[in-house]
Amino acid sequence: MGDHFGGAAPTGEMPEDVFAAISKLAHAEAGLMIPASKHPLVQSRISRRLRALGMSDFHAYLGLLESETGGSERRNMISVLTTNVSAFFREKHHFDTLSDMAPGLLDRARSGEKVRIWSAGCSSGQEPFSIAMTLLEADSRAGTHDLRILATDIDPTILDVARKGTFDERQMAGVSSLLRARYFNTAAGGAFGVSHALRKLISFRELNLLGQWPMKGRFDAIFCRNVVIYFDEATQAALWSRFRDALVDDGLLFVGHSERVPNPSLLGFRPSGVTTFTASATASIRPPRGPAQTRNA
Do residues 149 and 131 lie in contact, with contact meaning Cβ atoms separated by under 8 Å? yes
Annotated active-site residue in 139, 153, 220, 245: 153
CA–CA dist 191, 229 (Å, integer): 32
Annotated active-site residue in 45, 49, 74, 242: 45
Contacts of residue 145, Cβ cutoff 8 Å, sequence gap at least 6? 106, 109, 110, 115
What is the residue type of 161? V
Query: DSSP strand E in the chain: where?
Result: 115-120, 147-153, 166-167, 184-186, 192-194, 202-206, 219-224, 247-255, 269-271, 276-279
Give the CA-trace dihedral at 55, 76, 86, 296, to 10 degrees: 120
Helix ranges (H only) for 84-203 are 92-110, 126-138, 156-164, 177-183, 196-201
Report the SS3 class of residue 60.
Answer: helix
Residue 117 Cα distances to 127, 139, 151, angstroms: 11, 16, 9
| Radius of gyration, alpha carbons of the chain | 20
17 included as an active-site residue: no
CA–CA dist 126, 225 (Å, integer): 12
153 included as an active-site residue: yes
Active centre residues (catalytic): 45, 153
